[in-house]
Structure 1
Amino acid sequence: METVMKLLLVDDNPSNLFMLGKLAQSSGIADVQSFRDPLQALDEARRTRFDLIIVDYMMPGIDGLTLIREVRSLPDYVDVPIVMVTTVDQREICYAALEAGATDFLTKPVDMAEAKARLRNLAMLREMQNKLRDRADWLQTEVQKATYDRLGLEEEVILRLARAVERRDPSIGSHLVRVARTARELAEELGQSQAYCQDLYIASLMHDIGKLGLSDDLLYKTGPYTTEERQRMQAHTLIGGQILEGSRSPVIRLAAEIAETHHEFWDGSGYPRGLKESAIPLAGRIVAVADVFDALTSERPYKAAWTAEDAARYIADKAGQQFDPEVARAFSLRYFRILKIREQAGGPLGFAA
């Protein structure tokens, strides 16, 4: 469907407005809006996207140069053709108009044949610009759709991998969701971008994926671990990193980072590599807090559930030792929202965020 070209015509002289309006219509421009007051014209330009502008130089209120500068500063008018109407002896004004952003000139007295040809050429130029813009918008939309489809598929794959972990240990299904949601809350409190927070939510679902590599006798043991068994259990961090390493997906790379580092301690006494402070990736520091809080407040075969208050106090007490102090502070600020997560997230692992 062909779009109608819109012309903004600004001149304080009614005769000039009438003549230029007729000239524009004869050049194939059907929609012409005329203004004698340049400030009113500027207000209309803010509301309506015009395809072509003709402006006189000498006007009351603000002159044509100022109007051009103001119009060019608007988001939709970076490349809109603007024609300045001047007299023959105003060459210095023409130079200033070019600096301000004028595209072309009409000189008084206006040569009708020349003006008609110029306007027609500018209208054709604008039509091509509009087509290119529409094409670019369409391509951007298609790219966004393709990206959304890819991310949707990526999210589904990650969720299904997390389900595999749940099948190995059914008790942690709701734990995975709660940790992921808590991690997202903490990232938001830390001022991270929405994109990062969402990626962190998805990636956190796989923080225990390394448990797929643990033997049944270790995974399902109900009593306390021996020293050797604890070392084998701690190896799930390295196994998780190995499962997820080398991906081109930013989310899966983030998941690999989390799987390896969510048991590292701020003071360097954690595992598997004894990383310290900022050497521990932010995602690992965030998930460390989310994971410990949920683990402490969950019942396990080998322990009773702590109260939320006791678990929160533990995190506060361990800030600067086990946990990043800033993440621990973010936890305290989001504490009541995190409590609601415990009420809402339960049962088998699902696909709702």
Structure 2
Amino acid sequence: MGIRRKYRILVVDDEAVNLKLIAEILKEEYELAFAKSGEEALSLLPNQPDLILLDIMMPEMDGYAVARRIKDDYHYQNIPIIFATAMNEPVDEIRGLNLGAVDYLTKPLNSQILRLRVNNQIRLLQAQRALADQNQALEKQVSARTKELQESQIEMVKRMGLLAEYRDPETGNHVERMSRFAAVLARQIRLTPERCELIRLAAPMHDIGKVGISDKILTKPGKLDAEEWRIMQSHALVGASILAGGHSQLLTTAHLIAAQHHERWDGKGYPNGLKELEISVEGRVTALADVFDALSCKRPYKAPWPLDQVLKLIDEEKGKHFDPMMVDAFLEALPEILEIQKDFPN
């Protein structure tokens, strides 16, 4: 592996003769910079040397102090340091290596040994940088693949959510509106942006269990009888079963929503009769979003309700069907919710 001339070495020594000697040994292979004091060496660090050759015995600030300053600065702490010094006692070398130096050479310097030791460190640096570049490239590939998988999963969830809606053409843009209503509510109660987005993406799956309900019941142009209503209610359990066992946050959120969007704050909902905080926040958010959209839009069994009647019912159901906090958040966010209605007409 050839040594590239672009690598820069900062040579620090208070003796001009030593600087000249090192320059003669290394000048053909490296770009060199020189400093005759510790303070001057520190001032040259922004030039980003690849390696520092550092004397120890210098006035005012010795090499140990310089090394300590470098290793304490996260901008420069990874620059390798080789001590080149007349201090040849083992205790001196141990102290230098403990400060983070990668090598320790004693004067008088042997030109071949100096060149080999420097070359070895530069080769190591080349290998480290090549590995870092490879890791970065792999991280980009993994990130791109992860994004692709996430997008595929989101697309799958959307399409599965539409399955139930295609069974009932009168619902039109219901899943789109309802999921956006739910995200607005989630944001209004100050859930994290990540959780709000999960709710928006998972909410279209709320009625996936309707794939198990017959068209005769789904599209009946009138009130369901008791048996038909029992069958219709089963869609929550069917949906929960379809989505059970998922490991991603998206699918676990979708499972919660499918299972709980018909639960009520007072415990009189279905399928499990959960009440108050037994119901997940995802279930409470989507319960209100779903009812608001269902009442506001035409269905096979009903005409759309006027807005004032919808709001009156929601207020009456505060603390009964709906979480009181959720109703307050809904009313505060009503202008944004009505804009979504306009953007996605039935």
Q: After TM superposition, is the score higher than 0.5?
A: yes
Q: Deviations over 1:51-80 (max 9, x none)?
A: 434455557689413422333x24xx6655
1:88 match: secondary structure:
coil
SS at match of 1:305: coil
Cα deviation for residue 227 of structure 1 reads 3.5
**Which residue of 2 is the match for residue 180 of structure 1?**
179
Corresponding residue of 2:67: 65
Please state how far the C-alpha of 1:129 moved relative to its aligned partner: 1.1
Question: Which of 44, 47, 52 is the aligned partner of 1:41?
Answer: 44
- By how many angstroms is 1:166 displaced? 2.2
Query: How many aligned positions are there?
Result: 336
For residues 110-140 of structure 1, the C-alpha deviation after alignment (integer angstroms, 9 at most, x for no partner) is: 4433322221111111111112212222222
Pairing 1:234–2:233 present = yes
The superposition leaves residues 291-323 of structure 1 with CA deviations (integer Å, 9 ceiling, x where unpaired) of 22322333334143342x665675566555433
**Distance in 2 separating the partners of 1:320 and 1:67:** 63
Matches within 5 A, 1:37-116: 37-45=40-48, 51-55=50-54, 58=58, 63-71=65-73, 73-74=74-75, 79-88=78-87, 95=94, 97-116=96-115
Change beyond 3 A, Cα 1:119–1:190:
farther
* Residue range with higher mean Cα deviation, 143-152 or 35-44: 35-44
Distance 1:41 1:241, change over 3 A: same
Describe the shift of the 1:99–1:256 C-alpha distance in structure 2 as closer, same or farther (beyond 3 A): same
1:287 aligns with 2:290: no
In the alignment, the residues of structure 1 paired with residue 120 and residue 318 of structure 2 have an alpha-carbon distance, to the nearest angstrom, of 69
Shift of 1:218: 1.8
2:53, 2:329 → 1: CA distance?
Answer: 56
Matched residue type, 1:178: R
Aligned to 2:302: 302
Alpha-carbon separation, structure 1, partners of 2:234 and 2:83: 74
Contact 2:162 2:204 in 1 (8 A): no
SS of equivalent residue, structure 1 residue 9: strand
Identical-pair percentage: 33
Match of 2:336 in 1: 337
Cα pair distance change 1:319/1:51, threshold 3 Å: farther
Distance 2:89 2:294 in 1: 79
The letter for the 2-side match of 1:41 is L
**Partners in 2 of 1:329 and 1:19 — Cα distance?**
80
Give the distance between the partners of 1:292 and 1:103, measured in 2 at CA: 68
Normalising by structure 2, what TM-score? 0.79
Partner residue, 1:351: none
Three-state SS of the structure 2 residue aligned to 1:270 is coil
Aligned counterpart, 2:264 = 265
Q: 1:168 to 1:24 in 2, by over 3 A?
A: farther
Q: 2:89 and 2:181 mapped to 1: Cα distance?
A: 68
Distance 1:340 1:19 in 2: 77
Which residue does the alignment assign to 1:152?
151
State the SS of the aligned residue for 1:37: helix
Q: Classify 1:164/1:59 alpha carbon distance in 2 versus 1 (closer, same or farther; 3 Å).
A: farther
Q: Secondary structure at the match of 1:205?
A: helix
CA contact (8 A) 2:70 2:77 kept: no
> In the alignment, which residue of structure 2 is the partner of 1:119?
118
1: CA distance, partners of 2:34 / 2:313: 71
Query: Does the CA-based 8 Å contact 2:9-2:30 persist in structure 1?
Result: no
Contact 1:10/1:34 (8 A) holds in 2: yes
Aligned to 2:202: 203
Residue matched to 1:130: 129
Provide the rounded CA distance (Å) in 2 between the counterparts of 1:330 and 1:59.
69
Which range moves more in the overlay, 2-11 or 216-225?
2-11
Letter of the 2:148 counterpart: D
- Could you tell me which residue of structure 2 aligns to residue 350 of structure 1? none
- Mark the structure with the bigger radius of gyration: 2
Segment of structure 1 superposing worse, 156-165 or 221-230 = 221-230
The aligned residue for residue 12 of structure 2 is 11
Contact 1:265 1:275 in 2 (8 A): yes
Q: In structure 2, what is the equivalent of residue 162 of structure 1?
A: 161
Counterparts of 1:316 and 1:53, CA distance in 2: 73
Q: What is the TM-score with the length of structure 1 in the denominator? A: 0.77
Supply the distance in 1 between the matched residues of 2:303 and 2:188 (Cα, whole angstroms): 31
**Does the 8 A contact of 1:261 with 1:284 survive in 2?**
yes
State the Cα RMSD in Å.
3.6
Q: Please list every run of 5 or more consecutive structure 2 residues that lacks an aligned counterpart in the other structure.
A: none
